[in-house]
Structure 1
């Protein structure tokens, strides 16, 4: 499948994408605030979370072992999932995207990605 069309600069849209939210979730409160002070939240679609308090609650209430989802928050017609990978103090993630018509497969694909994240991380650390 083709990846989501990245039509906007990543730092400005982290609050709306699965990848960005996954990375923001791995930062502490000050790190998140620092990012959002430099890159204000903007509405990209009707589903984009622009309220910082709501965004932080979503990030804090999601267990780190559960994939972060983007259900048309970054781009209409696209759904995405991301799972965290960390090596020491370095944060990262693995992600996937698919067209909205395949949204029914997103959870299963995200779970498979999550299961395969640890072996990928191990191969990167070698």
Structure 2
């Protein structure tokens, strides 16, 4: 397609989408004849498109002959809401990466495991080399510690029973009592406990369901400036908390 030229559009797709829009404007359903009048389509064309949309599940035909929105549209609507939430969260993570020049992580504790759902990095701010699976290294990462801090002591004890703490660097904390009885923390630091030369900072994200955290990783040589990271990180975590609260249960990760 040459620059400035009009895109090639498929008329049948446009017509089908217009039918979906008009059906959606009539909660009680609408007949094929009414749809033809509303859209300006020929009645045979309208019937043909309606049969296709019903077959694919985007419309449903009632016993009285009226058409209503089908289950496929509901699924697309739910998916769109989740994607909008995820897009908004990723946008906040990108802003934080540019602000702090650090790799950004969004993680949650799901079904008894540490799960990193999103990483936003760049050549200037590369992600940490995950040389040990984060699920096995929760004791040594700010991400894991922050997530585990949101659990009960019994739940933390269960986690470490399944994943006994091991020394990953000379700085790794492996004492079970300290790890299990750790007081609840909304901000957690990892100073070269997971990887020498790398430090991490994690803040709690408030949301429905399991614990969620927003974290950053950066070279340990920048530890002296850690104080400059705290406010932006907390602010971004708070904004993500608001996004999740407004989305409610529709923001669940899949």
TM-score using structure 2 length: 0.46
Offset from partner CA, 1:22-65 (integer Å, 9 cap, x none):
001000011101111110100001110111112234x31x543x
Answer whether contact 1:72 1:79 (CA < 8 A) is retained: yes
Q: Which residue of 2 aligns with 1:3?
A: 127
Instruction: Select the residue among 128, 135, 139 that pairs with 1:15.
Output: 139
Following TM superposition, by how much is the alpha carbon of 1:21 offset from its aligned partner in structure 2, in angstroms? 0.3
Structure 2 residue matching 1:70: 3-state secondary structure: strand
CA distance in 1, matches of 2:133, 2:158: 17
Greater Rg by CA = 2
- Within a 5 Å distance, the mapping from 1:5-84 to structure 2 comes to 5-57=129-181, 59-60=182-183, 63-64=185-186, 67-84=187-204
- What do you get for the CA RMSD once the two structures are aligned? 1.5
Q: Which residue of 2 aligns with 1:85?
A: 205
Structure 1 residue matching 2:126: 3-state secondary structure: coil
Offset from partner CA, 1:10-29 (integer Å, 9 cap, x none):
11100000000000100001
Following TM superposition, by how much is the alpha carbon of 1:111 offset from its aligned partner in structure 2, in angstroms? 2.9
Answer whether contact 2:207 2:244 (CA < 8 A) is retained: no
More relative contact order, 1 or 2 (CA 8 Å, 6+ apart): 1
**Further displaced range: 97-106 or 116-125:** 116-125
**Further displaced range: 84-93 or 15-24:** 84-93
Answer whether contact 1:82 1:110 (CA < 8 A) is retained: no
Q: Which residue of 1 aligns with 2:112?
A: none
Moved over 4 A (4+): none
CA distance in 2, matches of 1:110, 1:97: 12
Query: Is 1:118–2:238 an aligned residue pair?
Result: yes
Following TM superposition, by how much is the alpha carbon of 1:84 offset from its aligned partner in structure 2, in angstroms? 0.8
